[in-house]
Amino acid sequence: MDSSFSIGTVYRKEKIVLSKDWLFNKIVRRHRGGFCCELNTLYSLLLDYFGFRRKLYAGAVFKRYPERKGILFDHMLFMINFEDDLWLTDVAFGDSSLTPLRFSDSSDPQERESGIYRIRKDGEEYWYEEKVKVVVNEFGHEEQSASTHDEWEASHSYKFDLIPRAREDFNDMLLYHQTNPESPFTHDRICTMAMPWGRVTLAGSKLVTSTYLGDNKVRKETKELQGGEEEIVKELEQKFGIRREACFYPEGSMFYGVDWSKETL
Beta sheet of 101-103, edge-to-edge order: 101-103, 85-89, 75-82, 53-62, 157-160, 125-130, 115-122, 110-112
| Tens of pLDDT, residues 28-53 | 887 777 888 999 999 999 999 999 99
Say whether pLDDT at 200 is over 90: yes
Between residues 237 and 169, which one has the greater pLDDT?
Answer: 169
Say whether pLDDT at 67 is over 80: no
Contact 228, 259 (CB under 8 A): yes
Say whether pLDDT at 172 is over 80: yes
> Where on the phi/psi map is residue 174: left (φ > 0), alpha (ψ -120 to 50), or beta?
alpha
Beta-bridge mates of residue 190:
203
Beta sheet of 142-144, edge-to-edge order: 5-6, 190-195, 198-203, 206-214, 217-224, 134-136, 142-144
Specify the DSSP element, H or E, that contains 176: helix 171-179
Say whether pLDDT at 105 is over 70: yes
| Tens of pLDDT, residues 207-232 | 999 999 999 999 999 999 888 778 88
Domain spans of the chain, in order of start: 5-262
Residue 12 backbone phi and psi in degrees, to 5? -85, 0
CA distances from 3 to 42, 207, 240 (A): 11, 17, 8
Residue 94 backbone phi and psi in degrees, to 5? 65, -145
The CA-to-CA distance between both ends of the chain, in Å, stands at 31
- pLDDT bin (cut points 50, 70, 90) of residue 260 is very low
Residue 29 in 3-state DSSP?
Answer: helix
Contact 102, 110 (CB under 8 A): yes
Specify the DSSP element, H or E, that contains 6: strand 5-6
Say whether pLDDT at 182 is over 70: yes
Output the CA torsion 79→82→86→92 (10° steps).
-40
Domain 5-262 has CATH 3.30.2350.10: no
